[in-house]
Amino acid sequence: MPAVPATAAVNGLVAQRSAIDAVCPPELQVKPEMPLKAKDEAGDEWLVSASITIRNSVVADVKILSGPKVFHDSVRKAIRQYRCKADAGEVVVTQVLRFKLQ
């Protein structure tokens, strides 16, 4: 997996660059919504890690690996909407999303 470059904040969400960017370009990735209940979580910044299976350019499966449960549905819903490059095979990548209150 390539090194993870710096992050950039967009509407309260900071997405780290990862191997998924090579398969699903960042401009075709849907940003997860900040759950209203996030303000009830301790802290002001949270990481959610997900394993994403992409089959024939479609997100076939999303498994949350770590992170506060309050973010899981939002992350799954957004990732399932990713548009990926045409590919004849199957790719499994991990993406880490950082949520941050601003």
Q: Tell me which residue has tokens 């690996």.
A: 65
Q: Kindly report the average pLDDT of the chain as a whole number.
A: 82
Residues 100, 43: Cα–Cα separation, whole Å: 9
Question: Does residue 23 come out as left (phi exceeding 0), alpha (psi in the -120 to 50 range) or beta?
Answer: alpha
* All domains in the chain, ordered by first residue: 8-100 (3.30.2420.10)
Q: pLDDT (tens digit, 9 = 90+) per residue, 57-96?
A: 999 999 999 999 999 999 999 999 999 986 668 889 999 9
Q: What are phi and psi of 29, to 5 degrees?
A: -95, 130
Q: pLDDT (tens digit, 9 = 90+) per residue, 54-68?
A: 998 999 999 999 999
